[in-house]
Amino acid sequence: MAETYKHFQPNVTWDPEVEAYLRGALGDERFEATAAALTRPPRTTCMRVNTLRTSTQEVMARVRQLLGSGWDQDVVRVHPQVPCAIVLQGSGPHEVSYSAAGGREVIISRKAGEAVLRGAPVFAPGVLAVSAGVARGELVALAVGREKPGSDVPEVTRGTTLYTAVTTATGAEADRGIADITTVATATTATVIASSSSSSITTTSSTPYCTVPVIGYIGASDTVPVLIHAAGGSGLDSNLASETPGLSPDERVPKGDAEKGSEDVIAPSGEGTPAEPEARSRATGPASMKGEKEGSSGAAEAEAEEAVVVAALPDSTSRAGQKERRRQRHGSSSSDAISTTNKAVARPAMPPSPLVPGWTLSSQGPLPPRTGLYVGLARAAMSRQEMFRAREGLALELVEPVFRVPPAVGGLPSGWVMLQNLPSVVAALALNPAPGSRVLDMCAAPGGKTTLMAQIMGDKGEIVAFDRTHAKVSEIVSLARELGATCITVRKADAGKALERSAGDQPPTSSCTGQHPSQLQPPPHSITAIVTSEHASTGCGGAPSSGREGQYGSPSKDAAAACKGSLAEPGKDPGATAAVFAAATAATRGPERAPISDKGRQREERRRAAMIQRGITPPEPRDASVPSSPAVYPPESFDYVLLDAPCSALGLRPRLQQQSDALYLRQCAAAQRRLVDSAVRLLRVGGSLVYSTCTINPGENEAIVRFLLDRYGSSFQLVPAGPPFLGRQGLVGRHPTMVEVGRCISQPSTTTATQVATAAGQDVLQVPVTSESQGEEWLSEVEAALVQRFDPSDGDLDTIGFFVAKFVKLRAVVS
Ligand SMILES: C[S@@+](CC[C@H](N)C(=O)[O-])C[C@H]1O[C@@H](n2cnc3c(N)ncnc32)[C@H](O)[C@@H]1O
């Protein structure tokens, strides 16, 4: 086989409306750079040192030992501004030679592929399709299968057998994805169906095994793959195994369950016969069983009729042949089978216009090229059958990945470090909760920032960590256990409903009227008194502060004192929040389930496994540490609130597919506004709120800051979202056409009335809301300088896309 290079260059398309919106927001050049960066992993990997268990120095020493001789020691360094962050410098994309794979290939799920790009191996559930006969220890080319547009269903069905296509193109042709394909099909018999006057392609004849130059597939019926053979090709080779690496003689007639598809793919279904559903399911997978057909069109049929096609028929030795004989015994003749085949060929379904090289024959039907989606050369840790039978376990180890990440984490003692994106570390550091304080982490799973905050607090105080499902809060519990953080209380509940309401209270509304907060009188209490009381950076190891915080006063006071005393509003009992909090916690804990014993857990696991086997989704597993009651807290229960909001995740990288549409982005923003409404009330006066997302969408970032300031501007002030300050400034201006879902505040000019009430000796802001929506507003220049926007295309930083904003609360908010 010829030397084969396959370049990693995924072509990811965006929803047109989302693309237009982001181009408008970022500008064409920045959008294109960002979109390209999003298809690649960040070159750096960040490990957060768990200072509850070890020190950065200790980790560094161990990492250097673990690196070994294969790596330059400089690839590991402590981040200069974040002392608990160790940065591993990776590299890529590298050109990979796949010739050692001898044409063997494995297609993995998109998610598995993205993990591989970040340095992970492939586990069995991530494997979708494997070349026939791949054995343990063999090398394979690893390609990523994408999902069907608008869904998370893979284009390639798990269990698919690939009839190895070996790209023999080199250089420029390969770069363009244009290649001669030598396809080795384990078809037992091939039959000529038609010829075309408009094509130079010639017919070929039947043979038990064939090696033919194929320029593409014209389509397949539900069960019959139809190959287009190149004119003047090398013809048919009756001894496939002797010429084709990767296929042993005993694969000529594949055996065993895992190989069934390899026969069925070449078997006519005999439409209308009892054998059909079974054959179809094996040949084309579950999608076909559900009646889904892709790419079926009149145009495809017309093209099919004009082409020379070779369809496979069963011979007398294959299972399909045996089925055919059974059919004959039951009254249908082999001519039925042939006419069935002909009928199938006259009704090809996919691909629509496939005279493009690179398509691969598989038990699922022809598969489109994976040009640009090869992620490395890997060694099989399981045989093909094992990969599909196993529910877990290492399936493939990367031998030559397209992106290289220095190894380190694996060999470190448990609980010493956790992998965490640098901007996530920044978000928790920006909130900087004081030891002994009460913190609300509204959307906490899997607990990366929760545990970092516990670390910053020296594990003193309490962090209430919300997430919505048992599985999610269980993740927080396990991570906290692993890292030795004990100050975390998990709550399985909707954080948007965490606010306790007295009988007459209404939830925050989105349809009232009021004057824009900027028109309100300034509050009597000065912001300075509050923000200068921020305590010094602690748990991360004392990140040196720099830059922007100066204008708001130096963070120098004793942390605990700041939390217990000076953060409190003048005239308020410093211990009041603590008391309220303790009472609320006790009152809202409710009846927790009895701790589950080991035996009970085993019983539960057995029950769950049995349910899964029967195809029933079991209830979430119980965890003794996860209270199941709903949790509500009175207003102003927390000294700090982190709202690391659920978002469109448009900043995560690498992403080999972008599925989000504009409606989804708007829905994310609507959900975020609801959570903000809760956050602003649960935070006590004088406390800090950090809002963060991992998306590049300004509608979920700058527009949410705008929303909060418009709606609660007299109660809240935007302050610098650090230290540390690593990101860029936010986006200024507005988007004229993006319509927001459920947005109630718009421009100041559209508001109608203001009320500032005084209740219980406090200034209270009556929330103003308008009914109109006027597009999406972002930030002023001054505001934009206070937030941190991490841009994936920012080459120096090279992080995920992320956003952090920080606010302090000046006075109470009442709906
Ligand atoms: C961005 S992730 C949080 C990541 C987490 N902060 C960390 O650093 O590990 C968002 C989380 O919000 C949770 N979530 C979504 N809606 C929620 C709600 N209404 N209340 C609580 N959690 C919610 C999701 O389940 C998800 O785990």
pLDDT digits (tens, 9 = 90+) for 460-490: 999 999 999 999 999 999 999 999 999 999 9
The pLDDT of residue 506 is above 80: no
- Between CA 105 and CA 108 the distance in angstroms is 10
Six token digits for residue 426: 């920044």
Is residue 618's pLDDT more than 90?
no
- In this structure, the chain runs to a length of 815
pLDDT of residue 708: 98
Measured in Å, residue 141 CA sits from the centre of ligand 1 at: 36
What pLDDT is recorded for position 660? Answer: 94
Test site for ligand 1: of 468, 473, 693, most ligand atoms within 8 A of the Cβ = 468
* Residue 124 annotated as part of some ligand binding site: no
Least confident of 2-6, 144-148, 798-802: 2-6
- Residue 22 to residues 15, 777, 779: CA-CA distances in angstroms? 11, 14, 16
β-bridge partners, 310? 192, 227
- Is 540 marked active-site? no
Compute, in angstroms, the gap from residue 780 CA to the centroid of ligand 1: 29
The overall average pLDDT reported for the chain is 68
CB 735, CB 790: distance < 8 Å: no
User: Catalytic residue among 46, 668, 694, 744, which?
Assistant: 694
Residue with CA closest to ligand 1 atom 19: 494
The residue among 256 and 395 whose pLDDT is bigger is: 395
pLDDT digits (tens, 9 = 90+) for 654-707: 999 999 999 999 999 999 999 999 999 999 999 999 999 999 999 999 999 999
Q: Are strands 122-123 and 76-78 parallel, antiparallel or unpaired?
A: unpaired
**Is the predicted pLDDT of residue 631 greater than 50, yes or no?**
yes
pLDDT number for residue 809:
98
Q: Helix, strand, or coil here: 706?
A: helix
In CATH terms, the fold of domain 421-592+627-814 is Rossmann fold (3.40.50)
Q: What is the DSSP string of 393-419?
A: SEEEEEEEESSB----GGGSPTTSEEE
Return the pLDDT at 605: 75
Q: Residues with beta carbon inside 6 Å of ligand 1?
A: 424, 442-449, 466-468, 472, 494-496, 644, 646
Partners of 463 in the β-ladder: 439, 488
Q: Relative to the CA of 452, which ligand 1 atom is closest?
A: 8
Residue 498 CA to residue 559 CA, distance in Å, equals: 27
Taking CA atoms, 551 is separated from 518, 548, 555, 723, 806, in Å, by 22, 7, 11, 13, 15
Higher pLDDT, 480 or 265: 480
Protein residue whose Cα sits closest to atom 12 of ligand 1: 443
Smallest CA separation from ligand 1 atom 7, residue: 448
Look at residues 444, 489, 482, 735 and name the one whose alpha carbon lies nearest to residue 589.
489
Query: Would the annotation count 449 as a binding residue?
Result: yes
Domain chopping of the chain, boundaries: 99-401, 421-592+627-814, 595-623
Pick the range with the lowest mean pLDDT from 99-113, 235-249, 622-636: 235-249
State the pLDDT at residue 110. 95
Q: How confident is the model at residue 55 (pLDDT cuts 50, 70, 90)?
A: very high
Share of the chain above pLDDT 70, in %: 56
Q: Is 443 annotated as a binding residue?
A: yes
Element (H, E) at 220: strand 210-220
* Residue 444 assigned as binding residue: yes
When pLDDT is averaged across residues 578-590 and rounded to a whole number, the result is 32
Ligand-binding annotation for 257, yes or no, is no
Atom of ligand 1 nearest to the CA of 642: 6
Give the separation between CA 83 and CA 425, rounded to whole angstroms.
11
pLDDT at 429 over 90: yes
Please spell the DSSP secondary structure of 729-782, one letter per residue. ---BSEESSPPPTT-----GGG-----EEEETTEEEEEPP--S---SEE-B-HH
Å from CA of 85 to ligand 1 middle: 23
pLDDT digits (tens, 9 = 90+) for 185-214: 332 222 222 222 222 222 222 222 222 223
* Secondary-structure percent of the chain, ordered helix, strand, coil, rounded to 5: 30, 20, 50
Q: Does 220 appear as a known binding residue?
A: no
Tell me how far the alpha carbon of residue 805 lies from the centroid of ligand 1, in angstroms: 17
Name every residue whose Cβ is closer than 8 Å to that of residue 494 and which is 6 or more positions away in sequence: 466, 468
Q: Which residue is closest in CA terms to ligand 1's atom 5?
A: 444
pLDDT of residue 127: 98
Rounded to whole angstroms, the Cα distance separating 287 from 367 reads: 14
Q: Which residue has the higher pLDDT, 375 or 281?
A: 375
Q: Report CA-CA distances (Å) from 449 to 480, 536, 604, 636, 774.
A: 11, 18, 30, 22, 35
Residue 387 sits at the vertex; the CA angle it makes with 385 and 392, to the nearest 5 degrees, is 135
pLDDT of 306 over the 90 cut: no
Most confident of 188-202, 363-377, 609-623, 790-804: 790-804
CB 626 within 8 A of CB 474: yes
- 734-738 long-range contacts, CB within 8 A, separation 24+: 734/775, 734/776, 734/777, 734/778, 735/21, 735/24, 735/25, 735/698, 735/699, 735/775, 735/776, 735/778, 736/775, 737/775, 738/21, 738/662, 738/666, 738/699, 738/775, 738/776
Name the more confident of 797 and 511.
Answer: 797
447 is in an annotated binding site: yes
Ligand 1 atom nearest the C-alpha of 447 is 9
Atom of ligand 1 nearest to the CA of 445: 27
User: Of 442, 467, 668, which is best to mutate to test ligand 1, by the most ligand atoms within 8 angstroms of its C-beta?
Assistant: 467
Provide mean pLDDT across the span 28-33.
97
Q: Which of 300, 366, 401 is nearest to 95 (CA)?
A: 401
Instruction: Spell out the residues 6+ positions from residue 88 whose beta carbon is closer than 8 angstroms to its own.
Output: 44, 45, 46, 47, 75, 76, 405, 406, 408
The predicted complex's ipTM stands at 1.00
Least confident of 7-21, 83-97, 167-181: 167-181
Residue type, 12: V
Inform me whether the pLDDT recorded for 447 exceeds 80: yes
**What band does 6 get if pLDDT is binned at 50, 70 and 90?**
confident
Beta strands, E only, 90-180: 105-108, 122-123, 127-131, 139-144, 160-163, 165-167
CB atoms within 10 A of CB 393: 12
Looking at residue 630, its pLDDT comes to 52
Q: Whole-model pTM?
A: 0.67
Sign of CA dihedral 118, 123, 126, 128: positive
CB 8 within 8 A of CB 104: no
- Distance from the alpha carbon of residue 644 to the mean position of ligand 1, in angstroms: 7
Band (pLDDT 50/70/90 cuts) for residue 523 is: very low
Inform me whether the pLDDT recorded for 78 exceeds 90.
yes
Confidence check: pLDDT of 511 > 60: no
DSSP conformational letter for 227: E
Here the tokens at position 626 are 């996860």
Contacts of residue 225, Cβ cutoff 8 Å, sequence gap at least 6: 217, 265, 266, 311, 312, 361, 365, 366
CA 162–ligand 1 middle distance (angstroms): 39
Confidence label for 360 from pLDDT (cuts 50, 70 and 90): confident
Ligand 1 centroid from CA 238, angstroms: 59
With the C-alpha atoms ordered 297, 299, 305, 308, is the resulting torsion angle positive or negative? Answer: negative
Give the per-residue pLDDT at 812: 96
Candidates 719, 629, 645; CA nearest to 677 is 645
In the chain, the N- to C-terminal Cα span, in Å, equals 72
Q: What's the pLDDT at 494?
A: 96
- Cα within 13 Å of Cα(432), Cβ side: 30
Q: Please, which pLDDT band fits residue 229 given cuts at 50, 70 and 90?
A: very low
Token pair for 309: 């096609």
Whether residue 271 is predicted with pLDDT greater than 50 in this model: the reply is no
448 is in an annotated binding site: yes
Task: State residue 615 phi and psi, 5-degree precision.
Answer: 80, 15
Task: Say how far apart CA 754 and CA 516 lie, in whole Å.
Answer: 7
Q: Rounded to the nearest whole angstrom, what is the distance from the C-alpha of residue 431 to the centroid of ligand 1?
A: 17
Ligand 1 binding pocket mutation candidate from 421, 443, 494 (most atoms within 8 A of CB): 443
The band of 366, judged by pLDDT with boundaries at 50, 70 and 90, is: confident
- C-beta atoms surrounding 510 within 10 Å: 17
Residue 693 CA: which ligand 1 atom is closest? 1
